[in-house]
Structure 1
Amino acid sequence: MTTDPAPDVPTLQALLRRDGYAFLGGDAMRRLLEDGGALDDWPAFAASWDDLAPDAYLAARGRQRRRRHAVFAAGAAGPVRREPRQPHYQSLDYNPLQGGIERWFEPILPAVAEGATLRRILAFGRDFFGALAPATRRWRVEVHQFRIEARAGAAGEPTPEGVHRDGVDYVLVLLVDRANIERGTTTIHRPDGGLLGSFTLARPLDAALVDDARVCHGVTPVVPHDPQRPAHRDVLVVTYRAEATAGEPPAGQGSTA
């Protein structure tokens, strides 16, 4: 579902409740983020994608993906706290390509993790999704910086596992940069595979907000516009999973696999 140019937060939340996903253009997303604080370090934040490490877990398949990863903990309110370095894990139910193993990625750099832009994004997501799951008192938040590279004769695959769910409650995807790239269309599907909608993240801060318990998502391969020049697609993916506090079951809306 494509929103109007400047929807407010309640409108977006209503779309997510109705459809399981929403697309938001970059200008509108920036306004929503800046309602809670300026993105003072955006240039440095975006430039940090030039320092991502290769995804060694895809090396054998020749796929050009670079990434960094970090885990945060968030209460229903208050500061978002970075957790010690830990692996990213998905079960085979959600990731048949790379599930069932602990994947250790290079950590997000401290300057990025503590910077105004990322902190504002994390808090926005916590508050936005928290209103949809008001019983949730604690969130596990995983942050992924991705760069997908493409070259002549070798398309880049933003979702090598295909159309999938992440096994969390909610997902926020933000475009950071596209350079010399064509395609890269995000598709949203029902669990039975039926197509619900599609859109392309094309401008900085174009955003997809996804209820991961209700819908699946994927991204079509990207190819270079000019095969003689470097080409990449940079995105930030932030996942939110409700965690139980001592003595109570999870309060979120989706899977905790």
Structure 2
Amino acid sequence: MARDLREQVRDDGFAFVPGTDLRALLPLAPSDWEAFAASWADLDLDTHLPDGHRYRRRRHATLSARAGDTAARREPHQPHYQGLEYNKLVGGIERWFEPIHQHILEGPTFRGVLSFCLDFFGALRPDTAWHIECHQFRIEARADAEGLPTPEGIHRDGVDYVLVMLVGRANIASGTTTVHLPDGTTLGSFTLAAPFDSALVDDNRVMHGVTAVHPEDPARAAFRDVLVVTLRATR
């Protein structure tokens, strides 16, 4: 299965993976999942977005791995940076976010996902060392304000590879992930609807975005939780 997915990413620049398929590839400890998913309830508001954009919460961590590693090392906490060519909304500045909790980074679920990323993307770029950034995102939606999972629009992240994995969604409609050629041509779309549903993206070749989310029941809390892992080659 992993070989087929690699061929998709190699040939097409992306692959969408149902959660049941991804779980089969991960060395998971089911008992850890509850604590892992629950940590999304402890994210701080992203205050770097322009006024009026008060729907995104996040935490961030930076790691590194040598070629062939199956585990990564946490680096000292540092800002997230994207150039304006990748993020016209809030690019060109250092953005500091609260760190991902250490017990989440050390837990079996996170370590399993990261091990998968190193193995999967490492096979596409052998003998490569990686700068890795991990982001916990919660996008909230209200009746009077839709949530934008990608407020910067259809974009590249300025890295080599990206994993976008759904952790959970509650009381929301839409939130469809789309993949595009640099000229904007749509290559595919997939709604991350169940835990572990994922998109695997070659960021050098394609762009991606996510449609806005809306509450199904305006009287209840509505949110979409995802883990994003990016890998950038350092040599």
> Structures share a fold, TM > 0.5?
yes
Name the TM-score, length of structure 1 as normaliser.
0.89
Deviations 1:78-105 (A, max 9, x none): 3310001000000000000010000000
Structure 1 segments unaligned to the other structure (5+ residues): 1-7, 245-257
Q: Does 1:194 align with 2:181?
A: no
Q: Distance in 2 between matches of 1:210 and 1:39?
A: 26
SS at match of 1:121: helix
Q: Does the CA-based 8 Å contact 1:76-1:127 persist in structure 2?
A: no
Q: Does 1:130 align with 2:118?
A: no
Deviations 1:40-91 (A, max 9, x none): 4111000000000100112613330000000001112333100010000000
Q: Does 1:80 align with 2:72?
A: yes
* 2:144 aligned partner: 153
Q: Distance in 2 between matches of 1:39 and 1:108?
A: 20
1:207: how far off? 0.6
Q: Partner amino acid for 1:42?
A: W
Deviations 1:202-223 (A, max 9, x none): 0000010000000000000000
1:225: how far off? 0.4
Q: Distance in 1 between matches of 2:121 and 2:68?
A: 12
* 1:28 aligned partner: 21
2:3 alignment partner, one of 5, 10, 13? 10
Q: Distance in 2 between matches of 1:96 and 1:62?
A: 15
1:123: how far off? 1.2
1:120: how far off? 1.1
Q: Distance in 2 between matches of 1:184 and 1:63?
A: 17
Q: Distance in 2 between matches of 1:69 and 1:62?
A: 19
What is the RMSD of the two structures over their aligned residues, measured on CA atoms? 1.0
SS at match of 2:48: helix
Name the TM-score, length of structure 2 as normaliser.
0.97
Deviations 1:129-163 (A, max 9, x none): 01001131x10110000000000021000000000
Q: Structure 2 matches for 1:58-207, cutoff 5 A?
A: 58=49, 60-78=51-69, 79-136=71-128, 138-207=129-198
SS at match of 1:41: helix
Q: Does the CA-based 8 Å contact 1:39-1:120 persist in structure 2?
A: no
Q: Distance in 2 between matches of 1:77 and 1:10?
A: 17
Q: What is the aligned length?
A: 234
* 1:4 aligned partner: none
| Range with bigger deviation, 211-220 or 117-126 | 117-126
Q: Does the CA-based 8 Å contact 1:72-1:141 persist in structure 2?
A: yes
Percent identity, aligned pairs only? 62
Structure 2 segments unaligned to the other structure (5+ residues): none
Deviations 1:178-198 (A, max 9, x none): 000000011100001111111
